[in-house]
Chains A and B, each alone.
Chain A
């Protein structure tokens, strides 16, 4: 019973807090631009609105068009539940759960691309092609980061990996994972979440034909993914194990906020990269994680 309650509480925390992050990023950008900006809860309002709407389905699509976003949402949410929340640890962890974590994220991407291809639209095909091309590099970076944590902690369980400090490679890991966070969550300089220009989109163009509840699920899933990466980045770098439970929770919340603000500032002050330069930056992210791995491997215990 306690386990069930624990998982439920965690689910509420993840699902309720996630939509705040895009709101904070938007607020940061508005503040830099000297505007007031939409309320922090805007995404929640949008989700409520979309949930009440009907669904427009093309006559061409198979059920995959709706199943794709649903599976993707479940996969991301599942991956989130595997992550320990500071001192609370995780309710579902097991030895080797990091492999499931990585594969769940890959499954979510596959399902989004699958649903996009269902429409047969040239735009969405282009977007899916771009998404999976860049994923080749960003997934390599995630795997390098995970390996670095594994080697350092000598474990393949997320709780054990994320509790101690990342050691000498912490700065490298933080920089590398921040690049991955920006790329995976379609933020500037990789993608522009605000653009209306279909031809320049990566992630946004894949969901152009979705509407109503499936779109709400996609948007909510994207915010959970953003929170997931922010939590992962924070816990990979900070020595959560050496803090008191209260301090650990506070540090986690503060760091997630800092990461979110940093994303907002990056987005405010940097122009978006041309597509041909995206692999360059992603490779840099991969190399940073790779060097963190080398540190963990050859640098000895932190």
Chain B
């Protein structure tokens, strides 16, 4: 499908000269992108690059079936251009973001309001979508919540207990990560990027490392790629286990909730054993990895991994065997497969709708070119499906780790990285535990970042949560929310 694409094709974690990226005038560029999306491509990133004569739009799309990425750009635009969202809803947040950052107006966008702009310390109080009617009432939740969780505002339009519409307003944690990266990489860059979403540290550290390696035309040593894969799967194990426990806690099912909280800690401690930090901070460096796993520690990791896998198996069995849990999970918060495809959901939220979509398989890079875990897919799109995909991924990541740890590749760990090529564009996709983490960088004439775009999987998936709530009881919102467990700070950047 991709062969006849007018876009520039390139594999994941590769770079290409900026001049080789085809360009179109604004309206034609939107039409060309729409054409590619109609042919089965998926929008990974859509952002603006400001230039002296206007703002260039850049579209990074993925042809999953062909295992290839493609990129196109527009000529500099000033003012308005026809919205891509009008025909392809998966672009809706991207276009709102471009509108907010570069004051371009996508004409025909149905809901053009700010994404995370701040009026003082909070997002601008734009009008929320309202449902009118005598029986309709509005419920506002957040941004300050009762638990220790991140801030976000949820506005429900309800008829009694039934939710007619949910609108989600985020941006309370906007720190300006992308803006801080411009002109980089500098000394703070690595720690700024890897904390884009703290629970996805490895994925958000691996992607920029691969971007920098692609820009320098280098590749990390094999052993470093292996280390990154091991850390990434440990991160997946810890978060999925924690989520199974949290889901169980939300329906007040005590046994699994209590056990998973403890086992999540075991997995985090394994990451700490690998690199000294429970979230893997500082492990991944551009050009390699900082810490090695010598044979003695490989044995130690294996010795602690096996019992933790047994324990999580037991805790999950309690969950699946409890009829009371099943009746809470099934047919709640359903996102239908066509909706998921149209919204461009990624990661486990997409796989729980029966979409076979996994960067580790579709766009393999790094160690995943040599070793793969089977994709975990479950049809249904409800809370049960999302819990089930988590469980399948726990099993498969566990098996993957046991297999990989028993045969580590031999090589050194870190190569000094040459300087980034000037005027070059590079993209890296990494399948974090929530889904596709996309980092795209464009260098200027000196090889510094002229533009750096981070797309956390949450950016794609929040709209999925809003849709999942349609027609649900408002009391099931926390459960649906937990089943997606999206990142606020990864979205807010």
Contacts and interface: CB of A to CB of B under 8 A. Distances in A.
Interface of A: 29, 32-35, 122-123, 126, 188-189, 192, 194-200, 267-277
A198 B145 CA distance: 9
Interface centre among B250, B324, B325, B478 (most CB of A within 10 A): B324
Nearest to B163: A199
B327 A200 contact: no
A100 B479 CA distance: 41
Contacts of B476: 200, 274
Given A196-B147, A274-B476, A269 B251 contact: no
Interface string B246-270: 0010111111011100000000000
A271 B473 contact: no
Contact of A268 (B141, B250, B255, B477): B255
Q: 8 shortest A-B CB distances, which residue pairs?
A: A33-B258, A271-B253, A272-B252, A197-B478, A271-B324, A192-B252, A196-B146, A271-B251
Most A C-beta atoms less than 10 A away, residue of B251, B259, B328, B476: B251
B475 interface: yes
Contacts of A272: 251-253, 324, 328
B291 interface: no
Interface residues of B, number: 32
B362 interface: no
Given A197-B147, A267-B254, A274 B473 contact: yes
Interface string B473-492: 11111110000000000000
B253 A270 contact: yes
Nearest to B147: A196
Interface string B151-177: 000000000010000000000000000
A181 B147 CA distance: 28
Contacts of A34: 258-259
Contacts of B146: 196-198
Contacts of B80: none
Interface string B314-332: 0000000010110110001
B137 interface: yes
Nearest to B149: A196
Most chain A beta-carbon neighbours within 10 Å: one of B248, B253, B332: B253
Contacts of A196: 145-147
Given A199-B474, A274-B327, A122 B139 contact: yes
Given A271-B324, A272-B328, A199 B141 contact: yes
Contacts of A274: 327-328, 332, 473, 475-476
Given A197-B478, A276-B473, A268 B140 contact: no
Nearest to B478: A197
